Chains A and B, each alone.
Chain A
Amino acid sequence: MKGWIVQHAQAMGFTLRRLVRAPVASLLNILVMGIALSLPAGAYVLLENLQALSGQVNSAPQVSLFLALDAARSDVEKTEARLKSHPEVKRYRFVPRDQALADLKRNAGLADVVESLKQNPLPDAFVVDARSGAADALERLSRELRQWPKVEHVQLDTAWARRLDALLQLGRLAVLALATLLAFTLVAVTFNTIRLQVLTQRDEIEVAKLIGATDGFIRRPFLYFGALQGLAGGIAAWVVIGAFLALLNGPLSELSQLYAASLYLRHLPLQDSLSLLGFSAWLGWLGAWLSVSKHLQQVNPA
């Protein structure tokens, strides 16, 4: 057990020295990997931010039900009773027309326009949360509500949110495809680096084999090297994305001030960051493993 730890520690130390001994080559490799990884990871970050934004706007299954302008108090009560007993309705909120007008006045700087109106043009309304978010269930519900007396208009609020969701889904697929392609790049870069290392360390490998080194022992520093380089590439990607977001967030905050909203692009959360680093380290390891397994056979002492 102790010998095992010592061997791994030695391999690690050896690997670090090897990285440091060729700083320019290592740095370039790490940059290539970082940039390759930052493309899909950066796109993922943007998608996540869009997703969060659409979540803020509310993508719960909601239906707005507007009564006719001439609906009486009794009509409102009747509709409310029917909603209460409807099995598909989870929750509803009544918005009286006076309150809707007051909201409008307060909200969007339309006070002048509203003041100029002779009468309230807004109807009474219900905001209905459906029990099921499924598209066809919502469609059925809204069609049914439309048949009720004194109901002027029924609107599915979630239509655009679902459209956005579908777009995001497509974007995610694109990111996945891009990530897969660029993962190959990372493996290929490592493969080539390790191939060169195996060739330049031919003598060393040969001697080690002659004095009883197992393939595992010989492979170990190369695997560490690949994983370490991959990890560094992941860190580089993380930093590149961070810099990119910092660059975007400046103008974005100015823009969002103009719209009186707060828009801010967030970096990857901790768990996703760790996944990124773990994945890039694994890819480096994989590239090194493929390379060293292939090229070690060519170095045979004679």
Chain B
Amino acid sequence: MISFSQVNKRYPGGFEALKNISFSVERGEMVFITGHSGAGKSTLLKLIPAIERPTSGSLLVSGQNVGAMRPGAVPYLRRNFGLVFQDHKLLFDRSVFDNVMLPLAIGGFETREAARRARAALDKVGLLEKERAYPITLSGGEQQRLCIARAVVSRPSILIADEPTGNLDSAYASEIMDIFRAFNQVGVTVLIATHDEAVLERMKPRVIRLARGALLP
């Protein structure tokens, strides 16, 4: 489903973020990417939805070469993904419900069907009773769950989360991880970057380790 082959990423200025990365992720897998800060986890995840482009090597997603994709096709590629960000990237000028509606508006869903889906997504992350609230009034864990609801509302086949539990205490963190596992159990491919070793101990998933931009065996 996702396959990296000899991917390098050098940022302007010469910093080499990723060196010769090769691995692949099958459909329905749940994979953790770990490493210290600056090891290249975020860069790796940004390559998949073409937020950053590889400098060399090839990156295939569902058979499409993402590295060479023309800009006009990128939005359609991104609709296959649900993206969860460490800083949530919520829109604070609109309600919880409207935040979740955004991907559906982009996808051109009919309003009533979209509202039904948005409520279902909010229900899954336990925020249904807060749909009228504004994100600023939510706790950190709730904001992260809202971000997940927004990521899954358009039913993507791949979930990508960059440090989803980075700012959360361990109780919230395991709650968030349980949500990801639930999505994985219904067939969604999940990629999570984390430096939280406790989570790995508990879940025993497949782990890809990065150090200074290279894969560790």
CB-based A-B contact count at 8 angstroms = 61
- Which residues does A use to contact B, with CB under 8 Å? 2-4, 6-7, 10, 203-204, 206-215, 217, 301-302
11 more contacts with CB within 8 A, not counting A211-B79, A302-B51, are: A3-B109, A7-B105, A203-B89, A203-B91, A207-B102, A210-B89, A211-B103, A211-B151, A212-B79, A214-B75, A217-B75
Contact between A204 and B91 (Cβ–Cβ < 8 Å)?
Answer: yes
Contact yes or no, B106 A211, CB < 8 A = yes
**Please, which residues of chain B bring their CB within 8 A of the CB of A214?**
72, 75-76, 106
Chain B residues within CB distance 8 Å of chain A = 46, 49, 51-52, 72, 75-79, 81, 83, 89, 91, 93, 102-103, 105-111, 150-151, 154
Task: Indicate if the CB atoms of B78 and A6 lie closer than 8 Å.
Answer: no
Q: A204: which B residues are within 8 A, CB to CB?
A: 91, 93
A208 near B110: Cβ-Cβ < 8 Å: no
Known interface pairs A203-B89, A302-B51; A210-B83 also in contact (CB < 8 Å): yes
Neighbouring A residues of B108 by C-beta, 8 Å: 3-4, 6-7
- Contact sample, A vs B, 25 pairs, CB 8 Å cutoff: A2-B110, A3-B107, A3-B109, A3-B110, A4-B108, A7-B105, A203-B89, A203-B91, A210-B49, A210-B78, A210-B83, A211-B78, A211-B106, A211-B150, A211-B151, A211-B154, A212-B76, A212-B77, A212-B78, A212-B79, A212-B81, A212-B107, A214-B72, A215-B75, A302-B52
Contact call A212/B103, Cβ cutoff below 8 A: yes
Most buried by A among B83, B91, B106: B106
Picked from B78, B89, B102, the residue with its CB within 8 Å of the CB of A206 is B89
A207 adjacent to B75 (CB under 8 Å): no
Distance in angstroms from B164 CB to nearest chain A CB is 15
Using Cβ atoms and an 8 Å threshold, which residues of chain B touch A208?
102, 106
Contact of B91 among A3, A7, A207, A209 (CB under 8 A): A207
Q: Which residues of B contact A3 (CB under 8 A)?
A: 107-110
Which residues of A lie under 8 Å from residue B150 when comparing CB positions? 211
